[in-house]
Amino acid sequence: MASLNKVFLLGNLTRAPELRYTPSGTAVADLRIAVNRNYMTQGGEKREETCFLTVVVWGKQAESCREYLDKGRQILVEGRLQTRDWEAKDGQKRTVTEVVADRVQFMDRPKAGAPAPVPAAEPFGEEMPGGGDDDVPF
């Protein structure tokens, strides 16, 4: 039986990309994007809902995202959904569904006179990255 796991998302970054490197030196960036959906209720009222998603970008493309993107920029993501499970430090099982990008296209240009983002890279340690027990690795 055939199957397909493909997503296209057009949204805005909610924060600057976070770039890290695996122990083997591979770049990985986390992008948080907001994707809006506009619709009309049965009563004729206009509504908007926002979905916040994590996009994981690997390799040279991850480095380019960190170099050229910042909060508020619009991007088009082509990728696939991936679900990961792990055990947090407190022993609780955690699950996350995220988008693994095949391609990230920058849709708008930064505003004139806006400062260029400062590259920031943190190497991965032996443990999964994150700041607390509830944090999602990567």
The pairing of strands 18-21 and 27-40 is antiparallel
Kindly indicate the confidence band of residue 90, based on its pLDDT and cuts at 50, 70 and 90: very high
pLDDT at 77 exceeding the cut of 70: yes
Mean pLDDT of 31-60: 96
Kindly list the structural domains of the chain, giving each domain's residue range(s) and its CATH number in brackets, ordered by start. Answer: 7-109 (2.40.50.140)
pTM of the model: 0.75
d(CA 21, CA 29): 9
d(CA 129, CA 113): 34
d(CA 98, CA 54): 5
